[in-house]
Amino acid sequence: MRTYLRVKGRQVDEVAGEVVREQPLSVFVNGEKFLTLLCSPMALEELIVGYLWMEKVIGAREEIARLEVSAVDGRAEVTLTHPVTLPTERILTSGCGGGITFRIDHRLFPRLHSRVRVRPAQLADRMKELFQAAVHYQRSRGIHGAALADAERLLIVAEDVGRHNAVDKIKGEALLRGIPTEDRLLFSTGRISSEMLLKAARMGVPVVASRTSPTEMAVALAEQLGVTVCGYVRPDGLNVYAGDAVILDAPVGAAGG
């Protein structure tokens, strides 16, 4: 809890409330320093497992022989069941929190061929449920939420100061719990940027939906990779920027009855 001043018009009050937390987390793999992530100090094991999978350092949870995380020291030690050559060409992403990726080449990702179809109302309902489940957002704002879902319910919810970290946590928890991510829906409270789109494609997710907008590069990648991208999801509508997974109630250009 922090004490701060709240100014409304001519009134100034001293209030106590939650302020979103972040910390550096240095990740070591087989004794070698890999990178330092800026993240929210929660669900750190899920974050590390998901990030290592996203960057193709591991292909399955079983490849991790030992994982020790110290939130106090800001250090994570990962021992794999095999030697690994860590990627070194770091790309600073547009994600908040200074995200880093090593494998951003979309040619490394196969095009998705999914039969998943979803109605706008289902996307709006799941987005509403994400905001209801995002307890840290409700307490302090200034934090992003992500969710893995099917058309009827949320399966996993994660929060972090970095929207990319929240998606990594989703994949990490999915690996730890044995929940498939293929043919699911991915929701985010933040902007859909290129690295967010690539994370979804790597997870086999054919539909990505956001409360806000995608970037032009994310839309172009979605078209290449067979991912449907929806933005500005609201109870009364949404924007479809790429893909054909959204079931429309009227032809394009026609008013619904």
Query: How many Å apart are CA 221 and CA 139, to the nearest integer?
Result: 35
Q: Which residues form the catalytic set?
A: 96
Q: In which residue are the tokens 């009364």 written?
A: 236
3-state SS class at 206? coil
Per-residue DSSP letter, 107: G
Distances (CA, A) of 207 to 36, 106, 147, 148: 30, 17, 12, 10
In the structure encoding, which two tokens stand for residue 79, read together? 């021992």
Torsion of CA 166, 169, 171, 177, to 10 degrees: -140
Query: How many Å apart are CA 118 and CA 127, to the nearest integer?
Result: 13
* Inter-residue contact 192 to 201 (CB < 8 Å): no
